[in-house]
Amino acid sequence: MKYAKIVATGSYLPKRVLTNTELEKMVDTTDEWIRSRVGIKSRHIVSDGETLLDMLAESAKLIIERAGIKPNDVDGIVVGTTSNDYIFPSAANLLQARLGITNHCGTFDVQAACSGFIYAMSIAEQYIKTGKMKNVLVLGGEAISHYINWKDRGTCVLFGDGAGGVLLTGSDEPGIVSTHIHSDGQYKELLYAANHWHEEGDMVKRPQIVMEGKEVFKVAVNTLNDIVTEVLEENNLDKSEITWLVPHQANMRIITATAKKLGMPMDRVIVTVDTHGNTSAASIPLAFDTAVTDGRIKQGDLVLMEAFGGGFTWGSALIKM
Ligand SMILES: CC(C)(COP(=O)(O)OP(=O)(O)OC[C@H]1O[C@@H](n2cnc3c(N)ncnc32)[C@H](O)[C@@H]1OP(=O)(O)O)[C@@H](O)C(=O)NCCC(=O)NCCS
């Protein structure tokens, strides 16, 4: 098969919505500060025992239903995540069982922080193009609220939970045009969550996200500019040919800066950071499914997805719908 084509999308958000007003009661912050610095009004957070697997399963069931296939037609599952409940088995492996897939297809997770979904797409694309797999579920999901320090105002206002994804199928018609993945491992100190459990009083606490926000911001803006240039040059494209930009949803100011670089009016940029927050590897598939479902992204459109995350990792996917 010449291409890996997106044939269906799906996503899931937890019911519990955490507003800026609620955060004002938890840390020294204001709704005005969060909106103006980051562009977030609210985010969804898992509650009542809801897990990453639950969110992935809801997304995947929707994708399978919309694609009109049976669970056992799926012959690969790749999940981008940093917040699986288990060190092993992988979330993809757990999902296979939850979906009742019994065909022994290959399943694995990809850990590339907020770029996880783009990395997962890039890997799935290779398996499809070489004919090793035909129908691959590619998902990004995070229960990242588990790893938030709810006393740190610099990070706790930024993140949210959710999951989403696509079904990639082998096709002779255009689908993924190109994917690009990169990393530079020297920036660990700026954004990380160490796998260290620690005691606080008589409680055992999970690992927590640590971030130097200002420094991350600077590298993110510069790197995302480079991503755009790389995609355009490699595909001999003019920026005016891109129909939609689906950026990683970390910060409205970063999104606006990238759109400006592309010369793209904001009404051609998919923005969900205002109500989703930064959902890490879930952010692009959540935004993408939102815009496909509400009819903005249509057949024939040229879509550019781009991501940036801890490590640092970054990447993009150019897709003909
Ligand atoms: C986190 C971020 C919003 C902070 O915005 P900023 O303009 O850089 O703000 P600074 O970190 O310089 O902090 C400015 C002040 O606001 C304060 N502040 C930080 N968080 C705050 C909050 N939630 N509410 C109110 N004040 C806050 C800081 O303590 C600082 O106060 P000080 O000047 O008294 O020390 C911004 O740096 C950012 O978005 N970075 C990128 C983060 C990101 O995208 N990470 C994920 C990448 S995948």
113 CA: nearest ligand 1 atom: 48
Residue nearest to atom 16 of ligand 1 (CA): 154
What three-state secondary structure class fits 318?
strand
Residues 16-39: pLDDT tens digits? 999 999 999 999 999 999 999 999
pLDDT at residue 298 in the model: 97
Q: Ligand 1 pocket, 37 CB below 6 A?
A: yes
Q: Ligand 1 pocket, 192 CB below 6 A?
A: no
Residues with catalytic roles: 114, 248, 278
- Spacing, Cα 118 to ligand 1 middle (Å): 26
Q: Ligand 1 pocket, 217 CB below 6 A?
A: yes
- Spacing, Cα 111 to ligand 1 middle (Å): 25
pLDDT averaged over the chain? 95
Q: Ligand 1 pocket, 317 CB below 6 A?
A: no
Residues 170-210: pLDDT tens digits? 999 989 999 999 999 999 999 999 888 777 777 777 789 99
Residues 81-96: pLDDT tens digits? 999 999 999 999 999 9
- Spacing, Cα 211 to ligand 1 middle (Å): 10
3-173 and 178-320 share one CATH topology? yes
Q: Ligand 1 pocket, 33 CB below 6 A?
A: yes
Residues 126-140: pLDDT tens digits? 999 999 999 999 999
CA distances from 293 to 57, 168, 253, 287 (A): 18, 17, 25, 10
Residue nearest to atom 17 of ligand 1 (CA): 154
Counting ligand 1 atoms within 8 A of each CB, the residue from 37, 215, 219, 284 with the most, and so the one to mutate, is: 37
Residue nearest to atom 35 of ligand 1 (CA): 154
Residues 226-251: pLDDT tens digits? 898 899 999 999 989 999 999 999 99
Q: Ligand 1 pocket, 307 CB below 6 A?
A: no
pLDDT at residue 225 in the model: 84
- Spacing, Cα 33 to ligand 1 middle (Å): 9
CATH 3.40.47.10 fits 3-173, yes or no: yes
Dump the DSSP string for 101-130. Answer: --S--EEEEE--GGGHHHHHHHHHHHHHHT
What three-state secondary structure class fits 298?
coil
CA nearest neighbour of 250 among 279, 207, 285: 279
Map out the domains of the chain as residue ranges. Answer: 3-173, 178-320
- Spacing, Cα 32 to ligand 1 middle (Å): 13
Residue 29: count other Cβ atoms within 10 Å of its Cβ: 17
CA atoms of 315 and 321, how far apart (whole Å): 19
Secondary structure E strands in the chain: 3-12, 17-19, 42-44, 76-80, 106-110, 135-142, 162-171, 176-183, 191-192, 198-200, 203-205, 210-211, 244-247, 302-309, 313-320
pLDDT band of residue 262 (cuts 50, 70, 90) is confident
What topology is assigned to 178-320 in CATH? Peroxisomal Thiolase; Chain A, domain 1 (3.40.47)
Bond into 89 cis (ω within 30): yes
